[in-house]
Amino acid sequence: MTAASDLAASGSAAPVDSVRTLALNEVGPAERGTRPEEVVIALSPAFGDPFTKTIVDVPHAEVIRQLLAGIEERGGVARVIKVYKTADLAAIAHHGAKLSGSGIAVGVLSRGTTVLHQRDLARLSNLELFPQAPLLDAEVFRMIGSNAAQYAQGQSPKPVPTRNDQMARPRWQAKAALLHLKEFECIDHSREAVEVEPVITKVD
């Protein structure tokens, strides 16, 4: 099964009738949270702007919506930050985890690659890693949010089932490299991470 047909099978990734857009309104500097059930969603420099969708066209609005829904339905609370100094997923997520009230963060790159991180782990370690961005659809993002909330509450959720697709390489590897290079160009070494308020607007 290819990544694309996989996505189609899940049926929820590419809304046909309506499109949601995402605005990330800056609230202020990203600071350390205090709520013990808090999950931080840490986004990469190009997430939401200038990029608007993942490598397989899952809108960034949908990524955020599903992560938030997954967190909330498990009784967690979320805070979203955007990181500018690095496009390294492990560093982004680990930074988010250090700011998180619970010590748990979800790091997301523009192309969709995602990791669940925890403050006390080594930067290159993680709770769960989803390295194959082409296989991440709305359903998976929701499960990731749900697991993040459970980790935040000190539980040990079952890891989100990993998918594998040996034909992802010929289809997506070069585009992933291109997106990676573009994301690198959006790095601003002088800009501190900011807290953002995600505003999702439905456009019919």
Partner 1 sequence: MTAVAPRAEGTGASLTTSKRTEVLEDRPVNLDGFVEEWPEKGLVAMESDFDPQPSVRVEDGRIVELDGRTRDQFDFMDTFIADHAIDVDTCEAAMATESVEIARMIVDPRTSRADVVAVGRGLTPAKILDVVKLMNVVEIMMGIQKTRSRRTPANQAHSTSAKDNPIQVAADAAEGAVRGFAELETTLGVVRYAPLVAIGLQVGGQVGRGGVLTQCALEEATELDLGMRGITAYAETISIYGTESVFVDGDDTPWSKAFLASAYASRGIKMRFTSGTGSEVQMGNAEGRSMLYLEIRCILMAKGAGVQGLQNGSISCIGVPGAVPGGIRAVAAENLVASWMDLECASGNDQSFSHSAMRRTSRLLPQMLPGTDFVCSGYSAVPNKDNMFAGSNLDTDDYDDWNVIQRDMQVDGGLRHVREDVILQVRNKAARAMQALFAELDLPPITDEEIEAATYANSSDDYPDRDVLADLEGARSVMERGITGIDLVRFLERAGFGDVAENYLQVLRQRVSGDLLQTAAVLTGDFTPLAAINDANDYAGPGTGYRLTGERWEELKKLRHVTSAENPEEEVV
Partner 2 sequence: MTTNPDLAPDLTAADYPLSVHRPELLHTPTGKTLDDLTMAAVVAGDITSEDLRISPETLALQGQLAAAAGRRQLAENFQRASEMTTIPDAEVLEMYNSLRPNASTAAQLEEIASKLENTYSATTCAALVREAAQVYAARNLLAEEESPVAPLAPQEA
Q: 146 by DSSP, 3-state: which?
A: helix
CA-CA distance, 79 to 106, in Å (whole number)?
Answer: 10
Using rule CB under 8 A, residue 3 touches partner 1:
yes
When CB distances are held under 5 to 8 angstroms depending on the partner's kind, the choice from partner 1, partner 2, none that residue 57 binds is: partner 1
Should residue 4 be labelled a site residue for partner 1 when binding is judged by CB under 8 A? yes
Instruction: Say whether residue 113 binds partner 2 (CB under 8 A).
Output: yes
CA distances from 172 to 15, 92, 119, 134 (A): 22, 23, 31, 7
- Residue 190 binds which entry of partner 2, partner 1, none, with Cβ cut-offs from 5 to 8 Å by kind? none
Residue 8's binding partner out of partner 1, partner 2, none, with CB under 5 to 8 Å set by partner kind? partner 1
Residues 56-85 that bind partner 1 (CB under 8 A): 56-57
CB of 98 or CB of 175, closer to partner 1: 175
Of 8 and 23, which CB lies nearer to partner 1 in the complex structure?
A: 8
Alpha-carbon distance of 178 to 96, in angstroms, equals 25
Cβ proximity to partner 2, 71 vs 91, nearer residue: 91
Report if residue 133 touches partner 2, rule: CB under 8 A.
Answer: yes
Site residues for partner 2, 153-172, by CB under 8 A, read: 168-169, 172
Q: 124 is in the binding site of which of partner 2, partner 1, none (Cβ under 5 to 8 A by kind)?
A: partner 2
User: In this chain, which of 91, 93, 106, 140 binds partner 2, going by CB under 8 A?
Assistant: 91
- Evaluate whether 31 touches 25 at the Cβ level (below 8 Å): no
Give the residue, chosen from 125, 155, 173, 201, that forms a contact with partner 1 under the rule CB under 8 A: 173
DSSP category for residue 104: E
**4-to-57, 65, 69, 135 alpha-carbon distances in Å:** 10, 21, 24, 8
Q: What is the largest CA-CA distance in the chain?
A: 45
C-beta of 141: minimal distance to partner 1 in Å?
15
d(CA 23, CA 2): 31
DSSP string, 55-96: TT--BHHHHHHHHHHHHHHTT-EEEEEE--S---HHHHHHHH
Name the minimum Å distance from CB 180 to partner 2: 8
